[in-house]
Structure 1
């Protein structure tokens, strides 16, 4: 299994590895991107049988990554030779085009083209032409494409054309990692403050209209070195450990995620498990995941966001009812169910012969 070490992909991968280990499936996890932190390495060591293979190759969505993508492809093929896995589970696209000897799966967590469309309202610029080409090649070469929501699958087909074979397997989180403490009167949000998709500027804009603090956890600086504007109306908590963030979620009355783009939304799932009422961006993927278990507001509707937050803050019985609905829904999105879905998928792929023509050379015209 491959993984990015930044953000939700790492969380998803480790959660799945842990659930697969409980089913006596051994995973070799190959990391790319940023170096594995001491905290991540410790979390990986706690998963029975998990073997970590570390690298810092640049990822396909980064600037000018293609020499690293080629080199990391060679590294992954060498790992396949040495480890002889039963299945290749990729959490990125381009490496789907490698000449794997066993069945391969690509899981779609995000996509530059769909991000650009949803957040900036225009097609991605010409500089992403190669990204589009490499992603399309990877998607068409694998045995199965998986996404955490039907909305994300539809987005892939819109941008890259028909998929060979696909399915939806929702993400999951362990309920026991989260808890609900006595709730306090504040609104919590979490995410990369520099990522326009998170739309945390909307909370900054309405915070002064609320009768309680709005607290925001997450990175304040872009990895490339750019800075975000200092918060005036919200209270920044900085980048927190998973345990510290869970502590804040346990106390928050409301979790707000007014996003413009989010293929699934792991942080909303964590907040729901922590007993928070959810106020979410009204986008197809979050509607699909949460249905009537959240309050939805269009990402551009600041008046609506302020109104819904005030309404939940002032109506304790409604807030508690929405929190209970969210937690009930969250409990169905559990790691055991996720692992069972993946194991059924792997089993169907093991039963079919590997297509010798599946692998294509990375970077071919």
Structure 2
């Protein structure tokens, strides 16, 4: 299985590996993007059936990646020759075009073209055409393409297809990893602050406007944030997994103001932690959460402010929304996710 160490794919890969253990599956995780952090290494070490193969090869969405992508391909083929796996599980696109001996499942988590269209309402500039060609070739050569939401899978198939075989499998988490404690007065969000698709600047703009402190965790270029937000501790920086779970357990309201989010794993973490969800009104998040979340147009700060003030000022409404989120989250367990992948693997092996 491939994974990048930078975004949510790392969490997804580790959660899936752990959930596959009862099926007797050993997962060899080929990591790319950047070296594992101490937190990531410690988490991986706790998963008995997970074997880490580390590298720092550039990912296909990074600047000038193609020499690294080619070298990573050689490395991956060497790993397959040595390990003789039953299934190749790719969480990136370009390496779908390699000659694999085992069947290859490719999971579509996100892509530059769908991101660009959602965030900037246009296609990427010409320098991204090579990326498009590499992604299309990888997707078309995969034996099965899995989408993490139906909406996103349809978008990928329309953009890059035809695809050989497709399957929709929602992401999942282990609810036992999350806890609900006494809630504190705050509104929380997390993600890559520099990613326009996460749109966390919309949440940061609520600082001083809704009566409760705003807190945002994730990698950020602090010099781009307003001095007042920094002084008030709006941006918490990057937190390790245990700290994130601790903060979520005490958070009453979680905001994901995304313009682009093929699944939104952080919202699931928040729901398992008893948070009311306030989400950007985009089709993928509507698919996942239905009536269990409150939605607002990602560019409408006044609507976001209204919803936050309504929740903060109405304890009964807040409690009801928290209950709805917790109940909906039960549909997205790691056990359900892993069972779906086992079925897909068996179908390809047969």
Question: Which residue in 2 is equivalent to 1:71?
Answer: 71
CA contact (8 A) 1:21 1:49 kept: yes
| Whole-angstrom distance in 2 between the partners of 1:68 and 1:250 | 40
Equivalences for residues 212-223 of structure 1 within 5 A: 212-221=212-221
8 Å CA contact 2:204, 2:216 repeated in 1: no
Aligned partner of 2:240 in structure 1 is 241
Which residue matches 2:328? 329
Q: By how many angstroms is 1:230 displaced?
A: 3.4
CA contact (8 A) 1:97 1:142 kept: yes
Gap runs ≥5 in structure 2: none
Residue 316 of structure 1 pairs with residue 318 of structure 2:
no
Aligned positions, number: 347
1:137-286 equivalence runs, <5 A = 137-221=137-221, 227-230=223-226, 232-233=228-229, 235-286=234-285
1:221-269, CA deviations, whole angstroms, 9 ceiling, x for partnerless residues?
A: 3xxxx95223534622111111111111111110011110001111100
Counterpart for residue 128 of structure 2: 128
User: 1:105 maps to which residue?
Assistant: 105
Match in the other structure for 1:360: none
**CA deviation string 1:277-330 (max 9, x = no partner):** 000000011000000100000101111111011111111111111111111111
Question: d(CA) in 1 for partners of 2:79 and 2:201?
Answer: 43
Find the aligned partners of 1:107 and 1:85 in 2 and give their Cα distance. 17
In 2: Cα distance, 1:246 partner to 1:228 partner: 27
Task: Give the secondary structure class of the aligned counterpart of 2:252.
Answer: strand
How many angstroms does 1:7 deviate by? 1.7
Residue 194 of structure 1 contacts residue 227 of structure 1 at CA under 8 Å; is this kept in 2? no
- What is the Cα deviation at residue 48 of structure 1? 1.4
C-alpha deviation, 1:85, in angstroms? 0.5
Deviation, structure 1 residue 6: 1.0
- Show the counterpart of 1:119: 119
Q: 1:358 matched to which residue of 2? A: none
Give me the whole-angstrom Cα distance separating, in 1, the residues matched to 2:12 and 2:304: 29
Mapped contact 2:3–2:32 kept (Cα < 8 A) = yes
Deviation at 1:207, TM superposition (A): 2.7
Shift of 1:44: 1.2
CA distance in 2, matches of 1:49, 1:212: 43
In the other structure, the counterpart of 1:33 is: 33
Partner of residue 361, structure 1:
none
Provide TM-score, normalisation by structure 2.
0.96
Match of 2:295 in 1: 296
Q: After superposition, what is the alpha-carbon deviation per residue over 1:111-166, rounded to whole angstroms, capped at 9, x for unaligned?
A: 00111111112111100000000000000001100011011112212321332211
Q: Is the 8 A contact 1:204 1:231 kept in 2?
A: no
* Unaligned ranges ≥5, structure 1: 352-365
Contact 2:140-2:161 within 8 A present in 1 as well? no
Classify the secondary structure of the residue corresponding to 1:207. Answer: coil
- Which one is further off, 63-72 or 43-52? 43-52
TM (norm. structure 1) is: 0.93
Aligned equivalents of 1:158, 1:284: Cα separation in 2: 16
Q: CA RMSD in A?
A: 1.3
| Deviations, residues 157-215 of structure 1 (Å, cap 9, x unaligned) | 23213322111111111111111111122111111111111111112223322111111
Report what 2:43 is aligned to.
Answer: 43
Q: After TM superposition, what 4+ stretches of structure 1 lie above 3 angstroms from structure 2?
A: none
